[in-house]
Structure 1
Amino acid sequence: MNVINVHEPIGVYEAYGVEEPVSLRDPAPSFARAGLARSERQAASGSFTLRRSGARPLAFNGRLLSRHSGERAGAAQWHELSLYETEEGRFVADIRVLGETHGNAGQFHVETFNELEDALRFFENHDARRDVVSDIPIEDAGLSPAELMVHAATLKVRVAEAQSGYRAVLSAFLTAMHRH
């Protein structure tokens, strides 16, 4: 199995939506300790309607606890993680898969939980491999074995990138939640 390792310097991880230093020497600004970017703090509570793939949208009143985006320059696909608390005390976990491979449609994995631990486990157990869309033209009988191998290798790299990117944004998301 091939593994792609991502090595990044310790510091500010704005690319993953974390706007706080990862060093104990530099205390995080107060808005970052809350797990929200400045622009999100004003709209952190209210009425929300979340798209869900293959289901009706989920509407609820509550507040946004944390949101992180894995969007990076040059990335074909990325994940956005959001966690909400409803007025009833339940938790809504939202995983959005966006990028040029999904066009405008995207994928929206949304679940509601009674306990915070269950919502966090939903994020931890998400398999980013399922989010990769294959563009191999299977119906094309004229594809040579070499062309199929190239398509398969490209798909394998995209799967590895999706897993690596999801692990990075999940790590940043959980770190911010832990500091909250």
Structure 2
Amino acid sequence: MTTMMEVTQPEQAVPAGVSQFAHTAMPYHIKRAGGRPLRFDGSELAMAMSYTSAIPYWYEINLYRTAEQGFVAAVRLFHQSEDKQDTIRAWEAATLDDAIDKLIGYDAANDVPLGTDFDVHTAAASEMGAWALQLMAHISDARHHYGSLIGEFLYDLEHGQ
């Protein structure tokens, strides 16, 4: 898994190892599935990405500090296939710990498509069982993929890498 991390340089000490703005805040506009767009002025504190060509999807995690000294956490899911829609989920948080909790609590199982290619009304019980096992394997893979990324993200954030 490839990870890229970028943390701004501190102007002064801030709790939990997150730096103050090193430059002027930029405007951000994050579209959210099923919610209003999130607009704020701020600075990106950290980013990690899990892209690898062997997997048909990847995640990007972003952590921002707003000009009002709040935080925004975002999880983006990208697909290699143009037939699938990329999604973004973003949350506002009053503290860094709250923002990190949003990222840790994100369940990648929600990103796994149901993927039925047979008629569930006429399928044999064995077909349904095999489909359920396959779906459980996809969910496990997605959770592992995201969990590895968030683990690297938090490690790098804590160690200032």
Q: Note if 1:82 corresponds to 2:62.
A: yes
Aligned to 1:17: 4
Partners of 1:114 and 1:74 in 2: CA distance: 37
* CA shift digits 1:24-56 (9 cap, x unpaired): xxxxxxxx6x37xxxxxxxx9522111211012
* CA shift digits 1:89-117 (9 cap, x unpaired): 11000011222589442332210011111
Partners of 1:169 and 1:102 in 2: CA distance: 23
Structure 1 contact 102–133 (Cα < 8 Å) conserved: no
Partners of 1:90 and 1:139 in 2: CA distance: 48
Partners of 2:29 and 2:49 in 1: CA distance: 18
> Could you say what secondary structure the match of 2:153 adopts?
helix
TM, length-normalised to structure 1:
0.70
Letter in 2 for 1:110: A
> Could you say what secondary structure the match of 1:16 adopts?
coil
Q: Note if 1:126 corresponds to 2:106.
A: yes
- Relative distance call for 1:101 and 1:142 in structure 2 (3 A) is farther
For structure 1, the 5+ residue unaligned runs are: 1-12, 19-31, 36-43
- RMSD of the TM alignment (CA)? 2.7
Task: Pick from 17, 22, 28 the counterpart of residue 48 of structure 1.
Answer: 28
Partners of 1:138 and 1:168 in 2: CA distance: 33
For structure 2, the 5+ residue unaligned runs are: 9-23
- 1:7-156 matches, cutoff 5 A: 15-18=2-5, 34=7, 46-99=26-79, 103-137=83-117, 139-156=119-136
Partners of 2:118 and 2:89 in 1: CA distance: 27
Partners of 1:172 and 1:142 in 2: CA distance: 45
> Could you say what secondary structure the match of 2:121 adopts?
coil
- Relative distance call for 1:69 and 1:156 in structure 2 (3 A) is same
Structure 1 contact 78–162 (Cα < 8 Å) conserved: no
Structure 2 contact 47–153 (Cα < 8 Å) conserved: yes
Aligned to 1:172: 152
Partners of 1:100 and 1:152 in 2: CA distance: 25
Partners of 2:123 and 2:87 in 1: CA distance: 29
Quote the sequence identity (%).
22
Shift of 1:85: 0.7
